[in-house]
Amino acid sequence: MPILHQWDYLFAFGTIFAALDAYNIGANDVANSFATSVASRSLTLRQACFAAAICEFAGAVLVGARVAGTIKNGIIPLTVFQGNPGVQLLAFTVALTTSASWLMFATYQSWPVSTTYSIVSAVAGVGVALAGKDAVSWGWNNGKGLSTIFAGFLIAPAIAGGFAAIVFLLTKYLVLKRSNSTKAGLIASPVYFFGVAAVLTMSIVYKGAPSLKLNELSQASTAAAIVGSAAVVALLSVIFWLPFVYAKVVKKDYTVRWYHFFIGPLLWRRPAPPDADTIGSDAAVPDYKVAIHDFETHHSSGSTVTPPSEAEAGDVEKAQISSHIATHAPPAPPAEQVDPHPIEGPWVLPKNLWIIVRYKIPGILTHGTTVDVLKLQAGESSAEAARLNAMHTRVTQYDNSTEHLYSFLQVMTACTASFAHGSNDVANAVGAYAVIYDVWSNGAVAGKDTPVPVWILVYGGAMIVIGLATYGYNIMRVIGNRLTLHSPSRGFSMELGSAITVILASNYGLPVSTTMCIVGATLGVALCNGDWRTFNWRGLGWIFLGWVLTVPVVGVAAGCLMGIILNAPHF
């Protein structure tokens, strides 16, 4: 069939808004994977963006096709288009347009919403405009109807919270509350590496990259692949990781650098410097106990902050924030910065074009990786900062060296969650766009099993990465420490619980919201503190409101826009 050139403008609109949708998925959703790592200081924002770029892209390209089928095939039946390819092309273009527009608005407002629910609601709204309420598959529909998807509204956070709570409680009582928690953590670390590696391997094998045909392996081969891969990772952690962290957290060897990791067993015999385990060795293990910055550092209110009291002595320490909070004078206004590369004269001059390409554009693209997210999470007013500080001081904080062990595991779980997010949520943009491309290029209504070309997955994955790198900080600032106090052990539990939930859902072709999963996991871990006041319930209410509003706003907007275009007067 010939290409529908008369609808080139619709294909162009679809291409643009698919990119915008994927961009906002990166800006709004990828924070779910790495906000905990940044909030607990296991990663800097720039390191998180680099790791996400690799994991999101790999997840989207390798295993992102399966969930796309639910988005494009399971919501409305093909019969509503009555064999008219132009109407189908218009329908999915409208769905992408309204979904991307809502996500752009929500991201700009720092409102973490469900990108999954956004596109699903848009497709449902288009279906109602085409053939009434009966056109939408409201029921279960063999796991592909709206009931299945919206069941995740409560089920996904509950499951993620349960998994995260189990992981953290095991960590808490088997490691963190031990008399020698660092030793217990070192002994248990290979088990943790085994479990995390098994989860990551399952995410690849069970979903089965189409080109690798891993989903066609027998049950015995699948089990062997999972256990074998996890065992190899655990063994490597014993050979290389264990001596590396032993030198840092036990010997307090502040001279150890990242490249010493590769000399592995030789680090057991490496002598520590003479001033190890003294004030001079503070750089060996980062400080994870700074819960919130001094109010006057960020808010020039002129008030004096009373440091919170320290709890009982012991390995389990509460709120040792007082040693890090000092009284500062209100900050002086920053000096006016001079642009080192000013544009003089018309911008079209060759020298100005060079300045724009060499300095201005890279500065814009990397701005999102240089924002101080921890400062933003400390509260945007003195009143809010005081409220968050009161919440944080109720949280038990554990031995700093032991927390450092979990920073490595947290990075692994963050990468696992990011990979799972790329595989699951890239469908929110490319599922509809795959239909648009298929209809436009073939000139016929797309079938039930429309393939998703690899280049579309690459296109969506690339825009997700760009969205995180340039604008992801705007969502990170309202989660993380804004919901509850983070630490590497807590962040590790949250991310692993969320990743397991997303992987299981993607394995069964069910699009779930990673936003809901990470928020549920955060709540599950916070409740393990034994004090409901260690969680920001007001913040949860604001996030929940965004989830609820997404459905009617996007659905009604998509239905109205589709109805207006279909029934508009024409010559």
Cα(221)–Cα(215) distance, integer angstroms: 10
- pLDDT at res. 98: 95
Contact 64, 445 (CB under 8 A): no
What pLDDT score was predicted for residue 474? 85
- The torsion defined by the Cα of 315, 319, 322 and 324, in degrees rounded to 10, comes to 80
Average pLDDT over residues 553-563: 94
Q: Is 345 left (phi over 0), alpha (psi -120 to 50) or beta?
A: left
Residue 319: pLDDT band with limits 50, 70, 90: very low
Task: Tell me the C-alpha distance between 184 and 204, whole Å.
Answer: 31
Residue 562 — very low, low, confident or very high, per pLDDT cuts 50/70/90?
very high
Region 535-560: mean pLDDT is 89
pLDDT value for 524: 94
Average pLDDT (182-208) is 82
Question: pTM of the prediction?
Answer: 0.79
* pLDDT value of residue 321: 36
Q: What is the pLDDT of residues 222-275, one digit of tens each?
A: 889 889 999 999 999 999 999 999 888 888 888 888 888 889 899 898 888 887
| Per-residue pLDDT band at 557 (split at 50, 70, 90) | very high
pLDDT of 58: 82
Give 396's strand partners: 318
H/E stretch holding 397 reads strand 396-397
* pLDDT more than 70, % of the chain: 81
Phi, psi dihedrals of residue 318, rounded to the nearest 5°? -110, 130
Report whether pLDDT(302) > 50.
Answer: no
- 315 compared with 514, residue with greater pLDDT: 514
- Which pLDDT tens digit goes with each residue over 114-140? 887 888 889 889 989 988 877 777 776
User: Predicted confidence band at 417 (pLDDT cuts at 50, 70, 90)?
Assistant: confident
The three-state secondary structure class of 326 is coil
How far apart are the C-alpha atoms of 107 and 552, rounded to whole Å?
A: 18
What is the pLDDT averaged over residues 426-442? 84
Summarize the confidence of residues 497-514 as an average pLDDT: 74
How many angstroms separate the first and last alpha carbons of the chain? 27
Bridge partners of 42, per DSSP, are: none
3-state secondary structure 452-496: CCHHHHHHHHHHHHHHHHHHCHHHHCCCHHHCCCCCHHHHHHHHH
Mean pLDDT over each residue of the chain, to the nearest integer: 79
DSSP symbol at 81: G
Residue 424 confidence (pLDDT): 66
CA distance 95 to 303: 50
At residue 46's C-alpha, the angle toward residues 40 and 51, to 5°, is 85
357 pLDDT more than 90? no
- Residue count of the chain: 571
Q: What is the DSSP annotation of 54-68?
A: HHHHHHHHHH-HHHH
pLDDT tens-digit series, residues 513-534: 778 888 899 999 999 988 888 8
